[in-house]
Amino acid sequence: MTGAWQLARAGLRAERVRLAVWALAVWLITAGSVSSESQVFGTAAARAARAELIRSPAATALAGPGYGLDDYTLGAMVANELLGWVALPVALMSAFLAVRQLRGAEESGSMELVRAAPVGRAAPVPAALTVVLIADVVIGAGLVVVLIAGGLPLPGALAFGAGAAGVGLVFGALGAGAAQLTARARTASASAAALVGVGYLLRAVGDVRAPESGSVLSWLSPFGWAQAARAWVGERWWPLLLLPAAALCCAGIAGRVAARRDLGSALVPDRPGRSTASPRLRGLFAVTVRRQGGSVLAWTLGAAALCALVGVLARQVLDFVAEQPDLARILSAGGSGPATDPVFARYLVLATCLAAAAGVSGTAALHGEELIGRAGHVLAGPVARVRWLLPQLAVPVLGSALVLVTGGLSMGLAAAGTLDDPGQIPHLTAAALVNLPVVWLLTGLTALLVGAAPRWLAVGWAYLGYVALTGLLAGLLPDGADALSVLRLMPSLPGDPMAWTPVLVCGAAAVALVGGGVWGLRRRDLVA
Amino acid sequence: MTSSIVMSGVVKRFGRRTALDGLDLEVATGEVHGFLGPNGAGKSTSIRVLLGQIRADAGRTELLGGDPWRDAVALHRRLAYVPGEVALWPSLTGGEAIDLLGRLRGGVDPVRRRELTELFELDPTVRMRAYSKGNRQKVALVAALAADTELLLLDEPTSGLDPLMEAVFTECIRQVAAQGRTVLLSSHILAEVEALCDRVTIVRGGRQVRSGTLDELRGRTRTSVRLQVADDDAATALVGELDATDGVHDVDRDGARVRFQVDGDRLPDLLESLGRHRVHALTAHPPTLEDLFLREYGGVR
């Protein structure tokens, strides 16, 4: 353990900017959501109506276990609907942080230097998790402040903040474990993110099957433990103790593995590969498929799982709406389609955002190719810059389409099964496809930045974040918050009537953006 | 004599920093040209200009008779490049990376590829991320040498190679030169440059400070002489005489041993006068490239 503290301090220093951005984003989202919830649902009657809506399985899947629905105070509402969504980014941040500090440092070789100094073999894991712990505690404390400032009582705020921080800690420790499994930081990050996804899914399915943490599935997920603390609904503190206990267990295992294995090795070792390339590895498209195929698959599976869940719950949504004529009127306002359509439309926005995230991250990775010097090496061959960009860009473009179509298809398949209506398959797949130009517009914007102005690459992510946030929290945010979102211009299918003009305009804009990226790349100096 | 590379008065600025400050470089077709200079002198920037990866702010650059920015693709068919830092696809094996680079230029000669892989003792089944620096360098070298191009742009190609592999590299470049192909070799390994290069260009601060054959450059520099005379008295007498001689510098004495430097063109006269002393042992060596280099870079000695 020698040197662990110095290592942690160095890690904290290296990560401070990134962590500050995460923390600020989490606090802002929380503050914004609390203030809009308190405005939109200012009266007990409004909150009671909201509680009825939230009781529906589809909403439960995306909210929480539903403590306090009978007396839906602002606190109960924030705990039920917000805690999961706040803990999610904290979990991802913590897991990625741990992987970066451990496997990232090992892959880049900096860990070799560190371990050559008087630093114990067992030091890196506790050091990395100390950084995670500090980051999570700071975020949790900030959440408490934000919630109290939002007019909520202290005990619940403490339970909320501790819950979010504790979930982060567990996934940070799981990230440290994932970092022991593979020799590649990317693979380790992806596995850790998958674990976060599984954790969220377990609590979603569990909460749908039995409210108020009645299902064992909810108790298999750290998210479930945080929510079981019943913030603002008569706090119950002991489930929160499960979080540090689980984190300590995972950290212990990861630490033991790390201290025993050779530096640079992994539990899943590299095998020797081919000595010559297969005929299929013909060019940059093929190599990009190989490099990005795994993450496209992960995004696709994530979208498919989430959408299938919504489809499975379609029957409950229908039953629920049938019992609530008032709600049916609200949901189908402006449309004459079945009551499920607006619900499906809401969740197709989620699938759209997932697909766009897949497209944006795959496209942004092309700038990494340039930074590391690979683009320079390839472009020293007889390869025009267009021929460098377009085949590689084709992978995120097609990959994002795959994510979206798979999302729509799996929602359709699941809905067809539960509603006994095969028509849902083409119905929902087509509805998902309508958002394809949006996905490509966001991908195209990133392609423009990669080609023409790589220094501003963060703008692509920021706009995606904005579109996702305003799209997913529609109704919670103040009116006009989505004024600049491209989603606002699109017909909300299924439910709305189809409108071709925005779809075609959006598609044309996406093509133009990619063209701008090619134009810019041909004109500028390579970065490295 | 035609030139494969002509750069004259090339300027490149990155923000406030001037990387190339009126650089001149001329490489004749068929020669192996050494490109020397301290870190940050502008060698890699020059090569990136030649590859059309960055555009010069001023000056003229001609590569194989074309414009490296405008005609990049056509020119790149006729050249191969080895960077000093090889960052190929980490998940591909070395063999796959060589084949992929070859396919991007329309195919790779499997016989030549196998010869080179064996020559450099490269294990092509290892993934790029698992190679050591020297082995990554070998992958780029095999890929470049397997392409039968008329020009090779090599930017510190042997960094990380062991001495054995460096010898293999030297032999390969000799063969390339014997075929009449042109090589621009940027390197810090002076023995390698001395063994391979017909002419060298030394740059510093983004400008050329010297260019010519090694002999031409040597003519400007001093020969180091070490000798031993019978005893201290003889040494004292010799030192007194040397101090009074034009063209002799840096006289240093340790007992009966004397070291000094003499301008290249004064060496014959000096040897004549040394005959009058009882010299027991004498070594004289012409300036090595290292001496030249230290002189041009450091401005001392």
The dihedrals phi and psi of B88, each to the nearest 5 degrees, come to -90, 175
Q: Which of A385, A378, A528, A367 is nearest to B44 (CA)?
A: A528
Asked if pLDDT for residue A330 goes beyond 60, the answer is no
Q: What letter would DSSP give residue A261? A: S
Gap between the Cα atoms of B19 and B44, Å rounded: 10
Q: Measure the CA angle with vertex A84, ends A80 and A85; round to 5°.
A: 115
Bridge partners, B12 (sequence order): B20
Min Cα distance A182 → chain B (Å) is: 13
Which strand ranges, in their side-by-side order, compose the sheet holding B58-63?
Answer: B17-28, B3-14, B58-63
**Best of A288, A377, A527 to mutate (most B CBs within 10 Å, chain B):** A377
CB A149 within 8 A of CB A35: no
Least confident of A453-457, A524-528, B208-212, B290-294: B290-294
Q: Which of B88, B92, B96 shows the shortest C-beta gap to A377? A: B88
The reported pLDDT for the residue numbered B188 is 84
Least confident of A248-262, A386-400, B99-113, B213-227: B213-227
Asked if pLDDT for residue A96 goes beyond 70, the answer is yes
CB contacts < 8 A (A, B)? 109
Cα pseudo-dihedral B137, B139, B140, B144, rounded to 10: 140
A112 vs B: CB within 8 A: no
Structure confidence by residue, pLDDT tens digits, A203-239: 988 998 888 888 888 999 999 999 999 999 989 999 9
Which whole number is the average pLDDT over A267-288?
A: 87
Bridge partners, A441 (sequence order): none
Interchain proximity B104–A183, CB inside 8 Å: no
The reported pLDDT for the residue numbered A335 is 46
Q: Which of B51, B88, B95 shows the shortest C-beta gap to A374? A: B88
Interchain proximity B95–A277, CB inside 8 Å: yes
The reported pLDDT for the residue numbered A128 is 93
The reported pLDDT for the residue numbered A325 is 63
**Strand, helix or coil for residue B152:** strand
A374 vs B: CB within 8 A: yes
Interchain proximity B87–A277, CB inside 8 Å: no
Interchain proximity A183–B129, CB inside 8 Å: yes
CB B64 within 8 A of CB A264: no
Residue of chain A whose alpha carbon sits nearest to that of B107: A282
Asked if pLDDT for residue A318 goes beyond 80, the answer is no
Interchain proximity B104–A272, CB inside 8 Å: no
In A, which residues are within 8 Å of B79 by CB distance? 380
Q: Residue B184 has which token pair?
A: 């621009």
Q: Which of B96, B105, B140 shows the shortest C-beta gap to A277? A: B96
Q: What's the predicted TM-score (pTM) here? A: 0.76
A184 vs B: CB within 8 A: yes
* Residue burial A71-102, b: 16+ Cβ < 10 Å; e: rest: ebbbbbbbbbbbbbbbbbbbbbbbbbbbbbbb
**Strand, helix or coil for residue A434:** helix
Interchain proximity B76–A272, CB inside 8 Å: no
A315 vs B: CB within 8 A: no
The reported pLDDT for the residue numbered B293 is 77
Interchain proximity A275–B127, CB inside 8 Å: no
The reported pLDDT for the residue numbered B301 is 37
Residue in the block written with tokens 């305003």: A470
Gap between the Cα atoms of A365 and A358, Å rounded: 11
Amino acid at A256: R
Which strand ranges, in their side-by-side order, compose the sheet holding B248-254?
Answer: B248-254, B257-263, B222-229, B279-285
Give the containing element (helix H, strand E) for B82. Answer: strand B79-82
CB A439 within 8 A of CB A398: no
Residue of chain A whose alpha carbon sits nearest to that of B77: A382
Least confident of A190-194, A316-320, A457-461, B57-61: A316-320
In A, which residues are within 8 Å of B53 by CB distance? 376, 379-380, 525-526
Query: Between β-strands B3-14 and B58-63, what pairing exists: parallel, antiparallel or unpaired?
Result: antiparallel
Interchain proximity A277–B76, CB inside 8 Å: no
Bridge partners, B200 (sequence order): B34, B212
The reported pLDDT for the residue numbered B118 is 96
Q: Measure the CA angle with vertex B41, ends B36 and B44; round to 5°.
A: 75
Min Cα distance A279 → chain B (Å) is: 10
Which whole number is the average pLDDT over A516-526?
A: 96
Structure confidence by residue, pLDDT tens digits, A100-158: 999 888 888 888 888 888 888 888 999 999 999 999 999 999 999 999 998 899 999 99
In A, which residues are within 8 Å of B142 by CB distance? none
Gap between the Cα atoms of B140 and B131, Å rounded: 12
The dihedrals phi and psi of A245, each to the nearest 5 degrees, come to -65, -45
Mean pLDDT by 10 residues, chain B (301 residues): 92 94 96 92 95 95 95 95 93 94 91 95 92 94 94 94 94 95 92 90 91 80 84 87 85 88 82 83 81 69 37
Gap between the Cα atoms of A17 and A13, Å rounded: 8
A326 vs B: CB within 8 A: no
The reported pLDDT for the residue numbered B224 is 84
Gap between the Cα atoms of A147 and A75, Å rounded: 9
Residue of chain A whose alpha carbon sits nearest to that of B152: A380
Provide the 10 A C-beta neighbour count for residue A380: 25
CB A163 within 8 A of CB A45: no
Q: What letter would DSSP give residue A281? A: -
Q: Which of A183, A270, A281 shows the shortest C-beta gap to B100? A: A281
Q: Is the ipTM of this complex over 0.95?
A: no
Q: Which of B53, B88, B96 shows the shortest C-beta gap to A379? A: B53
The reported pLDDT for the residue numbered A321 is 67
Gap between the Cα atoms of A55 and A341, Å rounded: 18
CA dihedral over A107, A108, A112, A114, signed as positive or negative:
negative
Asked if the bond preceding A454 is cis, omega within 30° of 0, the reply is no
Gap between the Cα atoms of A81 and A37, Å rounded: 10
In A, which residues are within 8 Å of B104 by CB distance? 283-284, 378, 381-383
A283 vs B: CB within 8 A: yes
- Per-residue confidence band for A309, with pLDDT thresholds at 50, 70 and 90: confident
Residue in the block written with tokens 């000056």: B59
DSSP structure string for A384-419: -HHHHHHHHHHHHHHHHHHHHHHHHHHHHHHHHHHH
CA R_g for chain B:
23
CB A237 within 8 A of CB A89: no
The reported pLDDT for the residue numbered B68 is 95
Gap between the Cα atoms of B98 and A381, Å rounded: 12
Q: Measure the CA angle with vertex A478, ends A474 and A481; round to 5°.
A: 70
Least confident of A177-186, A517-526, B121-130: A177-186
Q: Which of A372, A373, A378 shows the shortest C-beta gap to B104? A: A378
Q: What rounded mean pLDDT belongs to chain A?
A: 89
The reported pLDDT for the residue numbered B138 is 96
Q: Residue B115 has which token pair?
A: 């010869």
**Best of B78, B82, B89, B111 to mutate (most A CBs within 10 Å, chain A):** B89
Q: Which of A216, A404, A413 is nearest to A310 (CA)?
A: A413
Q: Which residue did the predictor score with more confidence, B288 or A416?
A: A416
Q: Which residue did the predictor score with more confidence, B112 or A39?
A: B112
**Best of A280, A389, A525 to mutate (most B CBs within 10 Å, chain B):** A525
Which whole number is the average pLDDT over A417-440?
A: 92
Gap between the Cα atoms of B68 and B49, Å rounded: 7
**Strand, helix or coil for residue A7:** helix
A271 vs B: CB within 8 A: no
A44 vs B: CB within 8 A: no
Q: Which of B55, B85, B99 shows the shortest C-beta gap to A281? A: B99
Asked if pLDDT for residue A334 goes beyond 60, the answer is no
Asked if pLDDT for residue A324 goes beyond 80, the answer is no
In A, which residues are within 8 Å of B64 by CB distance? none
Asked if pLDDT for residue A430 goes beyond 90, the answer is yes
